[in-house]
Amino acid sequence: MADRLARVLTTDGQVRGIAAVTTELADEARTRHGTFPTATAALGRALTSALLLASTGKRDERLSLEFTGDGPLRGLLAEATPEGTARGFAFRPKTDVPPRNGKLDVGGALGAGQLCVMRVPLDGGSLYRSIVPLVSGEIGIDIASYLTQSAQIPSAVGVGVLVGPDGGVMAAGGYLLQAMPGADEAALDRLATHVERAPSPSDLVRTGQGPVDMLRVVFADVPIRVLEEYPVRFACRCSPERVRRAIVAMGRDEIGALLAEGRPAEAVCEFCSTAYTVDEPELRELLAGLD
Ligand SMILES: [Zn+2]
């Protein structure tokens, strides 16, 4: 099943559901950053959560999740757009801690800390920012707690990444269920029961279920209407042009110093690990452009 995201609404209009298959995306993040299994699972869960939340936002804004903790992983940054692109990184990609109860211990790797949720308008409008303490560091529970407590939207979230024996991502995905404004208590109770009984998202993905199938499983006997379905992928906004602009911003003296040392300028994008090299002739060109 290719990476996709779907949004549905129960036909009674009380609850909306979003689900995503993110196996390829999570594995691309792993290969780009060289993450070890616990970091792979943590980053895949964060990227999936960012995609789910971004799909509930406006077309012209970017959603950012920053997890910081006192565990060996230190933190995660994940960004996504409503168009279905996501990028991100783990602060310490080579983090691997012993499993707990037979599962990758993402909460133990992250430790105690906080989650910062930001919605950044692309047109430069005012930014939404909310900071909450981590509940478990397991990512899904932290996102659900943020939505229910801080954003006041009763929500259930499940995100999961299955890492294979070779360290590769075998299955990744997640779902988000949210009460619509004015939903009754009974609908919310039903929702909680469904989520408790639902298999883990990575199990659903592993057995070949797409995002709409996943939501049909989670909603069980509640009829749903599919609103939208679209592909999702890992994508970064960095480019050689952005790197050149950053070098120009360093100023004449810094560029001159690089030329004097006879070495090229090198930069690595922290979001996607793409390495950029600007060689001597190009540095001279950029320097000449400053005249
Ligand atoms: Zn990049």
Q: What is the pLDDT of residue 82?
A: 94
CA of 235 to the centre of ligand 1 (A): 8
CA of 81 to the centre of ligand 1 (A): 15
CA of 149 to the centre of ligand 1 (A): 33
Q: Where are the alpha helices (DSSP H) in the chain?
A: 23-33, 37-54, 106-110, 140-145, 185-197, 201-206, 211-219, 240-250, 252-261, 280-289
Q: What is the pLDDT of residue 193?
A: 80
**CA neighbor of 231 nearest in space, from 205, 210, 262, 203:** 210
CA of 83 to the centre of ligand 1 (A): 17
Q: What is the pLDDT of residue 263?
A: 82
CA of 246 to the centre of ligand 1 (A): 14
Contact residues for 173 (Cβ-Cβ < 8 A; gap 6+) = 19, 20, 21, 22, 23, 48, 159, 160, 201, 202, 204, 205, 211, 214
CA of 268 to the centre of ligand 1 (A): 8
Q: Report, as ranges of residue numbers, the positions in the chain whose pLDDT lies below 50.
A: none
CA of 31 to the centre of ligand 1 (A): 14
Determine how many CB atoms are found less than 10 A away from the CB of residue 104: 24
Q: What is the pLDDT of residue 87?
A: 98
Angle CA(96)–CA(159)–CA(76) in degrees, nearest 5? 50
**Positive/negative CA dihedral, 131, 132, 137, 141:** negative
CA of 226 to the centre of ligand 1 (A): 33
CA of 260 to the centre of ligand 1 (A): 28
DSSP 100: B
Query: Tell me: the pLDDT tens digits for 153-177?
Result: 888 899 999 999 999 999 999 999 9
CA of 263 to the centre of ligand 1 (A): 23
CA of 275 to the centre of ligand 1 (A): 9
CA of 272 to the centre of ligand 1 (A): 4
CA of 271 to the centre of ligand 1 (A): 5
| pTM score | 0.94
